[in-house]
A and B are shown apart, each in its own frame.
Chain A
Amino acid sequence: MWWGGRGRSFNIPPQKEPEMGHLRPKSMQVSRMEEPRSPQTSSCPALRCLPGEKILAWAPGVRRGLEPELPGTLMCTNLRVLFCPQGWQVRQDSVLNSDYDFSLSNIGRLEAVNGPGRPQILRPGSLLKFIPDEILIHGRDFRLLRVGFGDGGLEPLAFRVAMAIVQARKQNSQAQHYEGMILSKAYCGLGSNEPPVPLLETPEDWEAERRRHGARGWRVSTVNERFDVSTSLPQYFWVPRRTLDSEVRKAFSHFHQGRGPRLSWHHPGGSDLLRSGGFYEASDPNREDIRAVELLLQAGHSDIVLVDTVDELPTLADIQLAHLRLRALCLPDAAVAEEKWLSALEGTRWLDHVRSCLRKASDISVLVTSRVRSVVLQEQGDRDLNSLLSSLVQLLSDPGARTLHGFQTIVQREWVASGHPFLTRLGGSGGSEEAPVFLLFLDCLWQLLHQFPSEFEFSEFFLLALHDSVRVPDTPTFLRDTPWERRKQNGQFSSYTQVYTPGSPQAPPVGDLVPRPLTVWDWGLRYSHQQILQFYNPCYEPHHCSDICSPREQPTSVTPGPPRSIFLFSRGTLTPLNQLCPWRDGFSSLMSSSRWLPRHNASSDSLADQEWGLPPHWGASPLPPGLLLPGFLGPQIRLWRRCYLRGRPEVQRGLSAPTISGLLDELALLQGLLRTWASRPSSRDHMKTKDPDTPLSPSR
């Protein structure tokens, strides 16, 4: 439970600026500005900068909106805007402060207020017309920072910092310069006890993952090692053991963007979850190619279900629109009357989208767990909703995925390595294809967390941290579109990565010739030890993990005959298909059979009932161990208030009931007392009543 070793502080020593990015500012300020530099910045507080970061302006101010008001300094650097409360440096052991940091791309709206008049909205490039009393920064992640400036002759500083932010945003939107900070190895993941999250950039990682899943019928293919099959695919992926790389290469060329069917997850019961891009219907494969494609899709199973991923799910444009509306609704000054709030919320359609994702994911997890088969998620691009669905399915059906490590691995595999275009979707590239699919996924996950509070090792706080991390410019995890770009960057950076800090006393100095680039999973970078402790859910009941469902039937290793049954899953029903690929008979069969059936009338019977033909008296736990079936009725889909309503101070308080944490504290106290007693002789036997397996028995 306890993962020590993260509490120590670390230094980032002054370093030379490598001559590399043409956009890098030449005059690099060194971090830890302890001594005064110029008369102007004489009282500028110390700030531990990221490499490549420089302070553009600062002004003393007061954080407002919440009691108590907090004095400190508002600073603007070329990467972020941050508010440093007084005395912050002393306590903090992380470079980035999660509470008051706004990376420039995260600033959704900047307002300057002077007196009672209307606030001026500052867009990149606009000019400030007055000396501001107060600056309001609305984050795109729903946070709000209000900084007020006092009198005392420092008004020019306030003006300067406001203008600096405006300038920096302009610069930032003109030039996308997310280099990704590559710091020393000193920043590890959560702690020494947690294995590092596999980045899935080496074949070893993939092989280890494959073994962990027990996917014996699969192997790691290196066919895309040089990104010549597809730049958006990872370098390595899993294909059926029997297929040759040449077959894979040929088969993949008949898929949209070269994204052919690959294993996403192997269910311990024997089923396989695959993901694939759409068939590239203009291509004209020969007989062998079709056979290869079929083998890949079939994956040794006789029962295949093709899932039309986008069916019944929102389009990217829908997601973006809903998110924009949600953001507008959750602004503190949203002009929605209290009694109209619910219909306004419904009008955003965000919760509706969450519902449809959950519903589909729960249907698919039933397909995967109810019998041994190959379930193929097929989306044209294979980079957005496929990621969302396959991650959700795994979270629903695999208890191991609900641990912190398991979840991070899933995000790394299904989103990062699989080439979800984070930069484009989060609006970083300024294009029109913005759609926060990942944030939608986090919301779905929050619903699960809310409905099954004891099934997840991580807490809501962790989800919030992840939610807030997607735009933080310190790691390349989220700020790239493809694995290829990520890889390219790393390669380019590899000669500069040896920023080893001798000041860090416990950092292992040997054996790390290739330092890991920082990833978002290095939480120690942004969150303090205390905060990281809160990533863990005190209610977690890990006992479900032990029930491993025994494999029902492994796919036979010999090439099976033609598949016995092929279905298309759409609109909640399974429709039989005559063949897998659209090409053979002038690719008619898929087209003709994929008629859009209306959702089954009594579709309220969840697919679970249909698939299992559940006995009329459903006992208390008839589901396969570990499978979660979420509720998705209207009243059960909730608003993630702690995330979306953060900007509204009136609803920030009292959101958490301290019951569990209070009890935990009391428990720790009592155990401490008991231990002092137990250390006296003849009291050993009283310790044993405690169940050593309960996650709550803190061994601190």
Chain B
Amino acid sequence: MLGKGVGGGGGSKAPKPSFVSYVRPEEIHTNEKEVAEKEVTLHLLPGEQLLCEASTVLKCIQDDSGQHGICGKLVCTDFKIAFLGEESTLDDNEPQFKNKLIGENDITLHCVDQIYGVFDEKKKPLFGQLKKYPEKLIIHCKDLRVFHFCLRYTKEEEVKRIVSGIIHHTQAPKLLKRLFLFSYATAKQNSTATGPTHQTVMFDTIKDWHWELERTKGNIKYKAVSANEGYKVCEKLPAYFVVPVSLPEEDISCFQGRGIPIWCWSCHNGCALLKMSAFPKEQDESNLQIQKAFLDGIYKTIHNPPYETLKTEDLSNSFISLQEIQTSYSKFKQLFLIDNSSEFWDTDVKWFSLLESSNWLDIIRRCLKKAIEVIECLEVQNTNVLLIEENASDLCCIISSLVQVMMDPYCRTRFGFQSLIQKEWIMGGHCFLDRCNHLRQNDKEEVPVFLLFLDCVWQLVQQYPPAFEFTETYLTVLSDSLYIPIFSTFFFNSPYQKDANVHQRQLSLPLNPNKSSPKRGFFETDHLIKNLLGKRISKLINSSDELHDNFREFYDSWHSKIVDYHGLLLPHIEGPEIKVWAQRCLRWIPEAQILGGSPVAIMNKVLEMMEEVQSLQKKIDEKHNSLMAPPLDGLSLLRKPARLSSLFPFALLQRHSSKPVLPTNSWKTLGDEEDLAKQEDEFVDLGDV
């Protein structure tokens, strides 16, 4: 996903000389080459603009009480905050894995989570207009990096400019049309606009839906409709989608797409997973009656036992609330956003209980469990399952995608997984813009739903690595790309919004007065929403106790058999089995680095063996064809002479320390100076160890 837009590196603007020089200009001339090697230049993407900068900023390394740092320049563009220092040129072992867009010291504006300032050793969150400027800036990122910038040696007006600039550009509410995406797209326009033919199905044509119906053999009972072409019916739904064959087309437009069962996926036995956006809470009694009658009609078309049975899962009422996810994640991420290392050690003893009290792993467990329950209905009870949620775009997306990842091996390939995200999340109308809070308009709407989904998938990947074409690194990179405003994928609330903004470049948001407010708060009304359909049907469906027994039996019996990686895959959800996504969470913490260790070592070995297997295979093939063509060299896969660290590929290969040889606090009081001198001599002698 990150491969696109690589070519844009050069930048439309020539970078200005960007360091404060202590040598005279003549000297620069003579040493130009050397300087060019040492100096890190600011790479701007097409359309990117430099907004403000400050020089002689110290980037502090792991908070050795603020003493140790790298001097450089802090700049803020309309795309990122970047620190230009000298560090990365020093060592010749360049990190093997580099993000082509975002360097080690780059923070995209959307990735900034929280900014703190340090005033007289006290840390305070920064927002709005500042009266006083901090001596140190701490930036917490959404990908869990933490940056410390010391501004003590920076000129005062530069401090003002950069701090207020950063705060303004990362925290102030923004308009959609001000997203960097658009300036980038405009600047990039003339270069290869249409990428190579996608193997990822985008689901933006009716053909894609036909293809998917065919693939899942759902085309007997379900049909793709184009009623919403041009978003005539509803701006929440995609232009094309799939509904039951028996559903009259005119019903679709009755309530702007609400109350319509929309097809997600068909199981091998013909049972389907459906979703439906529920009606908002209605006060008016007559409207209520109308809705009720409508739902009854819909319900009759899809539930006619014994041929077709239906079970509903009301996700708004009986499942995790978005509020819960939000609270839990904000606790969870604090475990990894560490300002200084001693903080980390203090919490270490309490690690498990802190982790547990964040509740994040339990939420993951509940999602996985819900998905297994749905699978049990589809697989064992042979019933269709209808997921209901107010907008059918948050928890519905999680559950329906998880069900498909577990049941459909196609979704465990890379392109299959990307197609799944495209189908369920992008076309499903997940409000990425609001949920990631890209525009900083409403913090309450910021809920890491997609991240929760990725974490659930990660659990599956780490429990059954051979079942997936992709690795956890893919998932980690995918989670990072949520905050890179180059790709349009994760920056819109609905396909309608995307089409409206991308195709007609003049950004005018036609406000439809009839449209129900997309910003309907989940949080204010959540407990009020009573779903008519859900209530009605739940009377017909078996009670929850029975459900639990069924679940247990299904779960146990599946786990007592041998795993078929190409078939149904159920995760373990017992206490010890749900784990922290360590790669994503720990990758920026130097203390977590294990040199030469961890899964990377195994991965290396596996790659080595695969290489060997493939070269042997090739040789056998050659023999078989009795062709004595010169043997091609085997794939040059990842070969590392050096020991990799456990943080690979996000390795911080440097460790920094300004500590003395021995802790000196006790030393000074107890030893005499002569010894101290000796000690230091010895240290110098052994310095090359």
Could you list which residues of chain A lie within 8 angstroms of chain B, going by C-beta atoms? 66-67, 336-343, 345-346, 351-352, 355, 370-371, 451-455, 538-539, 541, 552, 564-565, 573-576, 593, 597, 600-606, 609-614, 616-621, 623-624, 628-631, 633-636, 639, 641, 645, 648-651, 653-654, 657-660, 662-664, 666-667, 670-671, 673-674, 677, 683, 686, 689-690, 694, 696
Contacts and interface: CB of A to CB of B under 8 A. Distances in A.
Contact of B597 (A575, A597, A631, A686): A631
7 contacts: A343-B357, A453-B597, A564-B678, A576-B675, A611-B661, A631-B592, A694-B612
B345 A620 contact: no
A551 B687 CA distance: 16
Contacts of A538: 605
Interface stretch (B252-260, B463-471, B474-482, B497-505): B463-471
Nearest to A344: B575
Contacts of B341: 602, 604-605
Contacts of A337: 575
Given A602-B341, A629-B594, 9 more contacts: A339-B362, A341-B576, A342-B352, A452-B598, A633-B348, A635-B586, A636-B592, A648-B574, A663-B610
A455 B602 CA distance: 10
B623 interface: yes
A674 B656 contact: no
Given A346-B350, A453-B598, A604-B591, A674 B619 contact: yes
A147 B57 CA distance: 71
A624 to B, nearest CB: 7
B347 interface: yes
A629 B663 CA distance: 20
B609 interface: yes
Contact of B345 (A603, A635, A658): A603
B356 A340 contact: yes
B689 interface: yes
Nearest to B562: A653
Interface in B654-689: 654-663, 665-667, 670-671, 675, 678-679, 682-683, 686-687, 689
A628 B595 CA distance: 7
Nearest to B634: A689
Interface stretch (B87-95, B181-189, B371-379, B526-534): B87-95
Given A451-B598, A645-B576, A659-B465, A576 B91 contact: no
Interface stretch (B240-248, B282-290, B400-408, B577-585): B577-585
Contacts of B90: 617
B50 interface: no
Nearest to B684: A613
Nearest to B350: A346
Given A574-B663, A605-B341, A609-B657, A667 B612 contact: yes
B360 to A, nearest CB: 11
B511 interface: no
B56 interface: no
A634 B670 contact: no
Contacts of A352: 349
B592 A633 contact: yes
- Taking residues whose C-beta sits less than 8 angstroms from the other chain, chain B's interface range is 35 or more
Interface in B266-296: none
Interface in B309-361: 341-342, 344-345, 347-353, 355-357, 359, 361
A619 B91 contact: yes
B556 interface: yes
Interface of B: 64-65, 68, 87, 90-91, 93, 341-342, 344-345, 347-353, 355-357, 359, 361-362, 365, 463-466, 556, 559-561, 563, 572-577, 580, 582, 585-586, 589, 591-599, 601-602, 604-606, 608-610, 612-613, 615-617, 619-620, 623, 631, 642-646, 653-663, 665-667, 670-671, 675, 678-679, 682-683, 686-687, 689
B585 A635 contact: yes
B498 to A, nearest CB: 38
B598 A674 contact: no
Contacts of A552: 686
B517 to A, nearest CB: 35
A267 B463 CA distance: 40
A338 B577 CA distance: 10
A538 B646 CA distance: 19
Contact of B659 (A609, A620, A653, A664): A609
Contacts of A602: 64-65, 341-342, 659
B656 A634 contact: no
Nearest to A685: B631
Contacts of A657: 464-466
A336 B597 contact: no
Given A620-B93, A657-B465, A641 B602 contact: no
Contacts, number: 265
A613 B65 CA distance: 17
Contact of A343 (B352, B642, B655): B352
Contacts of B572: 650-651, 654
Nearest to A450: B598
B662 A574 contact: yes
B657 A616 contact: yes
A618 B663 contact: no
A628 B356 contact: no
Given A371-B686, A564-B678, A660 B606 contact: yes
B595 A621 contact: yes
Given A619-B93, A659-B466, A610 B350 contact: no
B597 A576 contact: no
Given A338-B365, A639-B576, A667 B609 contact: yes
Given A451-B597, A565-B675, A657-B466, A619 B653 contact: yes
Contacts of B686: 370-371, 552
Nearest to A574: B662
Of A617, A667, A671, most buried by chain B (CB within 10 Å of CB) is: A617
Contacts of B671: 576
Ordered nearest first, which 9 A-B pairs have the shortest CB separation? A341-B575, A634-B351, A604-B341, A346-B352, A618-B655, A609-B657, A454-B601, A620-B642, A342-B356
A370 B689 contact: yes
Nearest to A454: B601
Contacts of A633: 344, 348, 351, 586, 589, 591-592
Given A339-B362, A605-B341, A633-B344, A576 B687 contact: no
A541 B660 CA distance: 35
B355 A454 contact: no
B342 A616 contact: no
A683 B93 CA distance: 41
A323 B642 CA distance: 39
Contacts of B589: 633
A659 B606 contact: yes
A492 to B, nearest CB: 47
Contacts of A604: 341-342, 344-345, 591
Contact of A539 (B365, B602, B617): B602
A634 B613 contact: no
Contact of A610 (B559, B609, B660): B660
Contact of B602 (A66, A454, A614, A636): A454
A154 to B, nearest CB: 27
A69 to B, nearest CB: 11
Contacts of B356: 339-343
Contacts of A451: 594, 597-598, 646
Nearest to A567: B662
Nearest to A352: B349
Nearest to A689: B615
A217 to B, nearest CB: 20
A649 B466 CA distance: 22
Given A604-B345, A635-B586, A618 B653 contact: yes
A667 B612 CA distance: 8
A690 B612 CA distance: 8
A340 B576 CA distance: 10
Contacts of A618: 653-656
